[in-house]
Amino acid sequence: MNLNTPTKPDRTVRNRPNLRQIAAELGVSMMTVSRGLRGSPEVSAVTRERILAAAERLKYRPNRVVNAFKTGRTGFVGMMVRPSKLYRCDLIEGIHDELVAAGSLPVMHFSRTGGEATPDAAELDCLHRLLDQRVDGIVFWPSDETVPNHYLEEVWKRGVPLVAVDRQLPHTRADFSGTDDVAGGRIAAEHLLRLGHRRLAILCGEPWVSTYADRRQGFVEAVTAHNAAAACDKAGDKAVVCEQIECRNESALDESRELLSSHDRPTAVFAVSDVLAAHIYAAAAALKLSVGTDVSVLGYADIPEAGLLRPSLSTVRQDFQEIGRNAARLLLDRIEGRTTTDRAHSMRIVPTLVVRQSTTPPKHH
């Protein structure tokens, strides 16, 4: 063999099937083939089936670059999420599955932020990187919901639809998919009140997180609606007392110990997240108190670990997968022109109560 003899170029890519070949085989126009592959109602069901069968037989794959030039759409959709070992992957699965079913290709980017209530430069850089990939839209799990509209100036300038998940961006025109957390707080309060608890406490979490604030609001509203004489603070000799404790995750254990060490400690504590609820378990164990007997504990989210705690944790369950699916639907409606108004649209799912062993009637009841 002569090593200097040039090898023949691989023509596999050059000769890959295209719309012209499918059209010639079926005796229809290229436009009809294109419309049939897109599922256009202008093509009859019978013709579309013939087109799809020919495309499969010829192993046709659309050229996304050419398609982007023709339609202005790449088929890529950005998924910008914050990496967290504590957050269920159901949300990401819901977004991914709905986008893939619609023919889009998700491009994931992790946003690593500080978590405080200030816009993060790294997060903004992630958004710009996705824009540089010419994505058709972005699903965004923000670290901070207080950002102003101009923070997302580049997104709006390029006309790219944006949907926030879990935490809303109320000062922007971004769409939103999440949980009705005010309703979730009410559900939590009503459960504990039905059991007979009258000395309640809320472990509120970080004050700048709107989802926590909404859960707190719903809880306090339900307690007040139950008894107009309720005191939702530390002071007062009322029929129902609801103490509110603000804390970060790193201070939650100390706050829980102080709460459960008080002479008039609550008989039930609502934690605005399952992670915070775990700190109450640890504080109770340190004080030799029994969760579910000496103090009832109710969490929020229903992460997988909730059912593994002993006793198992009662909690308010969020439907993360459906939140993800709704986010993708909102985005696709924008991309495909079904939603044209600049007004932000939102979809909130009412959570459900999961009763396990950590919530029981108080001892005196």
Please check whether residues 46 and 151 belong to one and the same domain: no
d(CA 192, CA 112): 37
* pLDDT-wise least confident of 4-8, 39-43, 312-316: 4-8
Per-residue confidence at 117, pLDDT binned at 50, 70, 90? very low
What is the residue-averaged pLDDT of the chain?
86
Dihedral in degrees, nearest 10, Cα atoms 321, 326, 328, 332? 160
Per-residue confidence at 58, pLDDT binned at 50, 70, 90? confident
pLDDT tens string 203-216: 999 888 899 999 99
CA dist 14 → 17, 18, 158 (Å): 9, 10, 33
With contact defined as beta carbons under 8 Å apart, do 196 and 362 qualify? yes
Residue 4 is given by DSSP the state: T
User: At 286, is the secondary structure helix, strand, or coil?
Assistant: helix
Per-residue confidence at 365, pLDDT binned at 50, 70, 90? very low
Q: Give backbone dihedrals phi and psi of 145, rounded to 5 degrees, phi first.
A: -95, 5
d(CA 141, CA 123): 10
Please check whether residues 241 and 191 belong to one and the same domain: yes
> Is the peptide bond preceding residue 142 cis, with omega within 30 degrees of 0?
no
Residues spanned by the domain of 119: 76-178+320-349
d(CA 272, CA 96): 27
Please check whether residues 283 and 223 belong to one and the same domain: yes
Please check whether residues 47 and 151 belong to one and the same domain: no
Please check whether residues 325 and 310 belong to one and the same domain: no
2, part of any domain: no
pLDDT above 70 coverage of the chain, percent: 86
The burial class, CB within 10 Å (0-12 / 13-18 / 19+), for 206 is: middle
With contact defined as beta carbons under 8 Å apart, do 324 and 95 qualify? yes
For residue 364, the model assigns a pLDDT of 67
CATH of the domain at 57: 1.10.260.40
123: its two tokens? 């997060």
324, part of any domain: yes
Please check whether residues 236 and 206 belong to one and the same domain: yes
pLDDT tens string 242-273: 888 888 888 999 999 999 998 889 999 999 99
Please check whether residues 313 and 325 belong to one and the same domain: no
CATH of the domain at 145: 3.40.50.2300
137: its two tokens? 């839209």
pLDDT above 90 coverage of the chain, percent: 53
311, part of any domain: yes
With contact defined as beta carbons under 8 Å apart, do 285 and 313 qualify? no
pLDDT tens string 69-96: 455 678 899 998 876 655 568 899 999 9
Please check whether residues 313 and 242 belong to one and the same domain: yes
For residue 236, the model assigns a pLDDT of 56
Q: Within 10 A of 241 (CB to CB), how many other CB atoms are there?
A: 20
With contact defined as beta carbons under 8 Å apart, do 282 and 256 qualify? yes
More confident position, 20 or 87: 20
Please check whether residues 125 and 244 belong to one and the same domain: no
Residue 175 is given by DSSP the state: E
- Alpha helices in the chain, H assignment, sequence order: 19-26, 30-38, 45-57, 64-71, 90-101, 121-132, 153-157, 181-194, 210-226, 252-261, 274-286, 320-335
d(CA 266, CA 259): 8
E strands present in 74-170:
76-81, 105-110, 137-140, 162-165
d(CA 353, CA 194): 13
Please check whether residues 101 and 166 belong to one and the same domain: yes
| pLDDT surpasses 70 at 62 | no
Chain-centre distance of CA 65, in angstroms?
30
Give the closest residue to 71 by CA, choosing from 349, 337, 319.
337
- Residues 6 or more apart whose CB falls under 8 angstroms from that of 206 comprise 212, 246, 247, 248
